[in-house]
Structure 1
Amino acid sequence: MSAFRAAFFALFLGVAGPLLAQGQAFGAGSIDPDDPVEVESDSLNVNQSDGTAEFIGNVVIIQGEMRLAAPRVLVVYDDAGERITSMEATGGVTLVSGPDAAEAQTASYSIDSGKVVMTGDVLVTQGQSTLASQTLTVDLGAGTAQMDGRVRTILNPKD
């Protein structure tokens, strides 16, 4: 499970680190990667032949003050079944850290490329400020984020 914890933590950091609105990073609190990761779902299907584990129904993943919710999360392992290569949350994804939140139709994390991609009606809310687009791509290695697809924002300088 330590590989799952690392992948999950990186997914959160990927969204949390680079996004800035009003000079404050997404998720004001700190997360310890050694904190336990709690996963709840209505069911779990493990398929050893294709190296996947699928959490289905009311999936909630919590680490510290970070929370990911989605109807489905698919975890894909390498050919040896020893390490996670990617994770994909689908069906409407919500990521919350403290007062900040990000929503999208899907969120995928490729461990090998170090990229997190949130797609479909992406909305990031930080206090009174919001950012919206169709795609958010975060490069963990470069520490960058890019929003594409008619980016919209409301910035409130008073906050």
Structure 2
Amino acid sequence: MPFGPRLSLALALLATTIAPRSLAEPPKAAPPPKEPVELSADQLDIDIAAKRAVLEGHVRLTKGALVVRAPRVEVRYDEVPNVTWAKGAGGVVAEVKGVRAEAPEVEIDLAKQTLALRGGVRLQRGAGWISAEKATIDLVSLKVSLSDVKGALPVPEGAEKK
């Protein structure tokens, strides 16, 4: 059964902007960008009552500079509907601002603007790489926090002679 119209309608409902923070709540950093969350997949199942959707097969989630690809992603959304949370599993690749991350699992909290990778993470930027058990990336400040870390960072030519 072709699900193009169903998928397009569902993605149009889900691909909305994140709600601005309350004025009473001071932001930790810059306010979250108002870019939409764009989703694509081979299959989409929506539970309207639970405010949850499951995307399967060649899933791609994009929000601004963030791109996440995975075989399966579960998405939660609010009443508007704004996507508020997503969890990808089955071999995840996430890319943001020149950093590529690979992990078995990713959790994205769009209200907090964080990306948490778990289960044996490999981060790569240029020729350098770092592996860790867990990595958390703040999507606003682009600060990365890692645990149980090892890696290799390139040394500029001639730097050893100093």
Distance 1:2 1:144, change over 3 A: farther
- Aligned residue pairs: how many? 132
TM-aligned CA distance change 1:63 to 1:92, over 3 Å:
same
Q: Which has the higher Rg, Structure 1 or Structure 2?
A: 2
RMSD: 3.1
**Superposed counterparts of 1:1-159, under 5 Å:** 1=12, 4=15, 6=17, 39-62=39-62, 67-78=67-78, 80=79, 82-96=81-95, 100-140=99-139, 144-148=143-147, 150-158=148-156
Residue 105 of structure 1 and its aligned partner are, at CA, apart by: 1.1
User: Which structure is higher in strand share?
Assistant: 1
Q: 1:84 to 1:63 in 2, by over 3 A?
A: closer
Flag structure 1 segments of 5+ consecutive residues without an equivalent.
8-31
Asked if the contact 1:5–1:33 (Cα under 8 Å) also holds between the matched residues in 2, the reply is no
Letter in 2 for 1:119: R
Conserved? CA contact 2:14–2:37, under 8 Å: no
Q: Counterparts of 1:114 and 1:66 in 2: how far apart (Å)?
A: 11
Q: Which has the higher contact order (CA 8 A, sep 6+)?
A: 1
Q: Secondary structure at the match of 1:74?
A: strand
Runs of 4+ in 1 over 4 A off after TM superposition: 62-66, 97-100, 140-143
8 Å contact from structure 2 (residues 108, 115) kept in 1: yes
State percent identity of aligned pairs: 23
